[in-house]
A and B are shown apart, each in its own frame.
Chain A
């Protein structure tokens, strides 16, 4: 609660906008701020990987395979081909984040476009679009991702494509339901009565009201996407060897659990930390924006 004096002066000058309030509430949430720092740290690690990593993530050596954590020169040990685990984990952030975040990012635009179109136009267009979306929604997300990338075959692009298709339906559904609600608000009716074109109404009146909730929902999907993307690589779909990617590393180290169990578990720990951070960040955003959904 702010003091009465500032409240009065605030009202006279310019009342702080909605986003200023969201930012203030977000900054007061220690868990959300911690999550934000973790996410930024992970992104920074991915960007600076070649400079931060102590060794070449591809340099293998048969002489130093599967060293334990704490080996001098190899802080987190070595993998089944003798490559430095720490360097591979740092470099792994690049592909793992790319594979996890990109599908949600693209699906956010495509799904919003479909959902807003369906919600704003309504009628037959809505029925056709949303019934098509329902078909994809009828698949459990893991199954759809595996069906598509299993049929398309391994590879980064095929993995990204499958995951994007998985995340379009849920985002489109949310976008459709918020847009349908906004369309019925009186000032949208007024804008239409005053002769504004559909495009203008959507751009000026609808977008500002619906994009927030859709965005928060999409951020909540990032952690699912990260787990799923690494899961595809874990199954041998998605990223191919010898690229460093956490899911793939977990797969190739699976046979090493009897030799160096804790080294083998490290890539999964990275996926876990990343996924928790994105989840907490999304929760923080949701409560800062005061959304119930």
Chain B
């Protein structure tokens, strides 16, 4: 098993390397000179050449990449053009907010999704199954940014129960665990949980139906094991895959939170990304995407390793 884990870790290194190349290239696929946002439009040719030299844009591309990577490895993600602050500092604050939102949404989605999926798989092809499958189809098909708007319309505009935007009263972004702050978390977290709910429900339904159709279940039932005991066996067999799906979903939510954060003005990485796009702040865009993508690579790695430890069947295949 140790060898498998080691191989998996080593395999992640070239992928992370490739991810950094893609992020580096983002600046070069964007139209226009990267200097135009720093220099005044009437800058002389001499000043332009000077700035080009200072920023290293006159070097060959691989050299530029090497220098950039060295800085990244030292924790320097560059400086935001819009605010003049280090990108790493801007990201630090935002990452915490997004992590909180995504973890909560994944938990809600996982609990509800497993419930629906389990019931649907257990009563396979009954009307309960059809209903649960219908809910999961809706979960994967709904444009979540629109769902967020609809929830705001119902719970903020019409009923006035919950705040529509922000992460705290009066637009404060210093999070505290009190009701005033938690109230701001409810709508975005519920909106976000719909995606993992649909996917987890689909996965668990297929898993449970498959496990129940296997011979060892018939054997256990013939041995006289009660439904409660069989339930334990089903959970034990379905858990590794379901947990792996949950881990991946957390990664997708972290990376894909931009739409929901825009709807709710939630001060996380997605909101930051939205600002970076709007202001054409390329260092901020590049840094945020790099960190989120590396987060995703690491999470994938952790999920794979945990799954190997939980489920001995994985190593054999």
A23 to B236, CA, bound (A): 39
Is B68 an interface residue, CB under 8 A from the partner? no
Q: Indicate which residue in B143, B150, B258, B282 contacts A146 across the interface (CB closer than 8 Å).
A: B258
Is B278 an interface residue, CB under 8 A from the partner? yes
- Say yes or no: B285 contacts A140, CB within 8 Å: no
Is A49 an interface residue, CB under 8 A from the partner? no
Give 1 or 0 for each of A85-118: 1 = CB within 8 Å of chain B CB.
0000000000000000000000000000000000
Q: What is the chain A residue whose CB lies nearest that of B300? A: A138
Interface residue total, chain A, C-beta cutoff 8 A: 44
Give 1 or 0 for each of B260-282: 1 = CB within 8 Å of chain A CB.
00110000000001101110101
**List of B residues within 8 angstroms of A131 by Cβ:** 14-15, 18
Is A217 an interface residue, CB under 8 A from the partner? no
**List of B residues within 8 angstroms of A132 by Cβ:** 18
**List of B residues within 8 angstroms of A136 by Cβ:** 22
- Say yes or no: A275 contacts B141, CB within 8 Å: yes
**Which one of A38-46, A55-63, A147-155, A177-185 is at the interface?**
A147-155
A180 to chain B: closest CB distance in Å?
A: 15
A279 to B289, CA, bound (A): 29
A54 to B232, CA, bound (A): 60
Given contacts A140-B251, A234-B259, A268-B150, contact A134 B289 (CB under 8 A): no
Q: Indicate which residue in A141, A147, A227, A264 contacts B149 across the interface (CB closer than 8 Å).
A: A264
Q: What is the chain B residue whose CB lies nearest that of A237? A: B277
Residues from 245 to 286 in A contacting B, C-beta threshold 8 Å: 250, 254, 257-258, 261-262, 264-265, 267-269, 271-272, 275-276, 279-280, 283
- Say yes or no: A139 contacts B146, CB within 8 Å: no
A290 to chain B: closest CB distance in Å?
A: 15
**List of B residues within 8 angstroms of A138 by Cβ:** 15-16, 18-19, 293, 296-297, 300
Is B152 an interface residue, CB under 8 A from the partner? yes
| Range, interface on chain B | 35 or more
- For A131, A139, A254, A280, which residue has the most chain B Cβ atoms within 10 angstroms? A139
Is B65 an interface residue, CB under 8 A from the partner? no
- Say yes or no: B19 contacts A257, CB within 8 Å: no
**List of A residues within 8 angstroms of B273 by Cβ:** 146, 150
Residues from 1 to 47 in B contacting A, C-beta threshold 8 Å: 14-16, 18-19, 21-23, 26-27, 29-31
**List of B residues within 8 angstroms of A264 by Cβ:** 149, 153
Q: Indicate which residue in B152, B285, B296, B300 contacts A147 across the interface (CB closer than 8 Å).
A: B285
A123 to B4, CA, bound (A): 22
Q: What is the chain B residue whose CB lies nearest that of A226? A: B143
Given contacts A250-B145, A265-B149, A275-B142, contact A235 B158 (CB under 8 A): no
Q: Indicate which residue in A143, A152, A280 contacts B29 across the interface (CB closer than 8 Å).
A: A152
Q: What is the chain A residue whose CB lies nearest that of B130? A: A31
Q: What is the chain A residue whose CB lies nearest that of B294? A: A138
- Say yes or no: B27 contacts A265, CB within 8 Å: no
Q: What is the chain A residue whose CB lies nearest that of B252? A: A140
Give 1 or 0 for each of B132-144: 1 = CB within 8 Å of chain A CB.
0000011011111
Q: Is the interface of B mostly helix, strand, loop or mixed?
A: helix
**List of B residues within 8 angstroms of A152 by Cβ:** 29-31
Q: Is the interface of A mostly helix, strand, loop or mixed?
A: helix
A273 to chain B: closest CB distance in Å?
A: 9
- Say yes or no: A141 contacts B256, CB within 8 Å: yes
- For A134, A136, A267, A269, which residue has the most chain B Cβ atoms within 10 angstroms? A134
A8 to B147, CA, bound (A): 54
Q: Indicate which residue in A142, A148, A276 contacts B252 across the interface (CB closer than 8 Å).
A: A142
B51 to chain A: closest CB distance in Å?
A: 21
Q: Indicate which residue in A250, A269, A280 contacts B137 across the interface (CB closer than 8 Å).
A: A280
Q: What is the chain A residue whose CB lies nearest that of B164? A: A257
- Say yes or no: A276 contacts B141, CB within 8 Å: yes
- Could you write out 9 A-B pairs with CB less than 8 Å apart? A135-B15, A135-B19, A139-B293, A140-B252, A140-B293, A152-B29, A223-B141, A257-B149, A268-B147
* Contacts A150-B277, A268-B149, A276-B137 supplied; 12 other A-B pairs, CB < 8 Å: A136-B22, A139-B19, A147-B285, A148-B29, A153-B31, A227-B144, A231-B145, A235-B259, A254-B149, A264-B153, A271-B143, A279-B137
Residues of A within 8 A of B (CB): 131-132, 134-136, 138-143, 146-148, 150-153, 223, 227, 230-231, 234-237, 250, 254, 257-258, 261-262, 264-265, 267-269, 271-272, 275-276, 279-280, 283
Those 5 A-B pairs whose CB atoms lie nearest each other, nearest first:
A268-B146, A140-B255, A135-B18, A142-B256, A143-B255
